[in-house]
Amino acid sequence: MEESIFVIDRKLPKSELEEQKQFLKEAEEEVDNLKERLNIVEEVSEYGFWDINLDTGSVYFNKNFAAILGCQPNELNSFRISDFDSFILKEDQAIFKEALNSHINNQSEWLDITVRLRNTEQGYKWVLFKGKVIMHDQNCIPLRFAGRIEDITLRKIAEEKIKSNLQKEHELNELHTRFISRISHELRTPLATILSATETIEKYELQLSTKQRTTLFSKIKSSIDELKEMLDDVTVLNKFDSNKMNGANKPFDIIRFTSDLIEEVKFNSPSHAQIKVEFDCQNKVVCTNMNLLKHVLINLLSNAIKYTPYDRNIYFRLKRSDDQVRIVIEDEGMGIPEDEQKNIFEPFYRASNVSNIAGTGLGLTIVKESLESLNGFINFRSIENTGTQFTLTFPGNCNNSNNQI
């Protein structure tokens, strides 16, 4: 027996049809409103959005998405999730793949990673990827993957600047700590000597012989000289740090200048090694900053005298040719241990074999800073227990012209 199917054709009342039409009209208006709001959000947002259907391969993205990737929207019509790799800097591709696979395989709640994109204009730019699988099938296989991409290059630059400033501040704090520690240590010895000598003179003034008083006064003077040297070094270095080291380039007689300087150093160090001087000057007139050059030469000559036995030699050689000045200061002193030579221009650094000799560890820092200010440079070679040679090279002319005093 065949089944009979009865279809009842029931016409809806006019009022009910009107209600349905009104409902559909309102729904369409709401959809239009939502679309308009979405367009407004996309228009004012700096984010790039994507929505990829992993099953059908269809993809939605806004114009910012293409702009951040650095391409035109029509270039992304066949975009696939694996195509992200082609935009990411090679060095960051592995960490992006690892983060993406971790999320796709349900091992993380979000894809949340910062990487660099290729950028032909600036080399690369920093971006933040934040995405999520928003739909799975019954077997928990991902079907839709949506998210946003944000250009955070300016933020990264600011972060790096803050990090650099914090690092500089940390280094500066360490430098100040070392400075206080070193100065405190170095001040103790001369101050203790001055205190001891003055107490002795005060207590035994009538019992002391002329020779004994002379010896004590000599110790006081020597200690005062040490204090003055430390204060001078600190003052000079502080001027470099605050860019207050002044003085203009002026022409002067380099032979007379260095000869007077050597005599001054010898006068301040009565018991010293023999200083042998050699001049080779086609033109004895040099144009440079005399104050800076004086700091350089006094520091190097004083070190040579300080670390060289009195029965050994110190050599001072000056060569002036064309537009360059070359000065070599060589001693037959203690030398610098080979494994410590890389540190000698660091502030407050002192080689291990001179720890029992007074000094702040600032002299060679001042020398290097001064030569750089003169547009020059310094080289050295040293053998422990044999001696050290410093070679200074700097321009000798003002504006590459002949100079007259």
Domain coordinates in residue numbering, the chain: 37-151, 159-241, 250-395
Predicted pLDDT at 348: 76
Predicted pLDDT at 93: 93
DSSP assigned state of 3: P
Predicted pLDDT at 61: 85
Predicted pLDDT at 306: 87
Q: Which residues contact 39 (CB under 8 A, 6 or more apart)?
A: none
pLDDT range class, residue 393, cuts 50, 70, 90: very high
- Residue 147 pLDDT more than 70? yes
Does pTM surpass 0.75?
no
**CATH code of the domain made up of 37-151:** 3.30.450.20
Predicted pLDDT at 39: 66
* E strand segments, 6-105: 48-53, 59-61
Predicted pLDDT at 123: 78
Phi/psi at 389 (nearest 5 deg)?
Answer: -130, 125
CA angle, corner 376, sides to 392 and 245, nearest 5?
110
- Class of the domain covering 159-241: mainly alpha
Predicted pLDDT at 255: 94
Per residue in 128-157, is it b (16+ CB within 10 Å) or e — as a string? Answer: bbebebeeeeeeeebebbebbbbbbbeebe
**CATH code of the domain made up of 250-395:** 3.30.565.10
Bridge partner list, 60: 51
- Residue 8 pLDDT more than 90? no
Q: Does this chain's domain 37-151 share its CATH topology with 159-241?
A: no
Which amino acid appears at position 152 of this protein? I
Question: Would strands 48-53 and 59-61 be described as parallel, antiparallel, or unpaired?
Answer: antiparallel
Q: Which stretch of DSSP H or E encloses residue 4?
A: none
pLDDT range class, residue 17, cuts 50, 70, 90: confident
Cα distance between residue 226 and residue 41, in whole Å:
72
